[in-house]
């Protein structure tokens, strides 16, 4: 069980940070829009990437750095586009009524979640390479460590997505969305700059 909790703690320490994926999950939670589908998608994606790392994909990625370079530029381009969208909303914010606004369809929402997850090289560095490498130090209990890290991801995304509902009373205020989207735009641009220039 100590190995499981080591994985849980390590996974949580890596995932609890302001990032593109977390900002998106938070926004979906506040809007109460496809929350379950988004948190399940993000948690399962992390579980898949962690499992691939334990199974040895991290070594392959390190041997073929061109893969990370492709993801780096593709991810930066997507983050800039997403940041510009958030900035546009911050300049001209909308509000949500008590009954909720017009919800986006599920597939475009999941495509955004997919892009923010799989086009971000930091995701591979944290899950596939770092968590995979650390888990394999616990051999022969590396999968127990991995399951702990996966549980941490599941716990975090559900807490973030559904915990955001406690702030839902503020969503009818234009100023709330102006500040939130401004922060999201800043996060997206910051991560994009980090990917491009290593700042």
Rounded mean pLDDT of 153-173? 82
- Those residues whose C-beta lies under 8 Å from the C-beta of residue 59, and which sit 6 or more positions away, are none
Three-state helix/strand/coil letters over 118-154:
HCCHHHHHHHHHHHHHHHHCCCCCHHHHHHHHHHHHH
Cβ atoms of 129 and 61 closer than 8 Å: yes
Q: Alpha-carbon dihedral of residues 19, 114, 67, 64, nearest 10 degrees?
A: 90
Domain spans in the chain, listed from the N-terminal domain onward: 2-197
The pTM score is 0.74
**How do residues 114-138 score in pLDDT, each as one tens digit?**
999 998 877 887 788 778 878 877 8
Three-state DSSP state, 107: helix
In this prediction, residue 174 carries a pLDDT of: 77
Rounded mean pLDDT of 3-23? 80
* Structure-token match 């948190």, residue found: 39
In this prediction, residue 100 carries a pLDDT of: 44
């Amino acid at each position: 069980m100590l190995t499981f909790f080591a994985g849980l703690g390590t996974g949580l320490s890596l995932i609890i940070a302001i990032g593109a994926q977390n900002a998106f999950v938070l926004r979906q939670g506040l809007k109460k829009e496809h929350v379950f589908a988004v948190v399940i998608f993000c948690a399962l994606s992390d579980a898949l990437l962690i499992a691939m790392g334990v199974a040895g994909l991290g070594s392959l990625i390190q041997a073929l750095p061109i893969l990370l370079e492709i993801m780096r530029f593709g991810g930066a381009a997507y983050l800039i586009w997403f940041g510009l969208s958030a900035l546009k909303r911050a300049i001209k914010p909308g509000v949500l009524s008590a009954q909720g606004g017009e919800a986006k369809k599920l597939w475009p929402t999941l495509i955004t979640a997919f892009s923010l997850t799989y086009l971000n090289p930091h995701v591979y560095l944290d899950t596939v390479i770092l968590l995979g490498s650390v888990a394999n130090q616990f051999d022969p209990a590396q999968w127990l460590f991995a399951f702990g890290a996966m549980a941490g991801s599941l716990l975090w995304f559900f807490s973030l997505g559904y915990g955001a509902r406690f702030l839902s009373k503020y969503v009818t205020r234009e100023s709330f969305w102006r500040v939130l989207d401004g922060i999201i735009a800043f996060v997206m641009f910051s991560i994009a700059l980090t990917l491009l220039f290593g700042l």
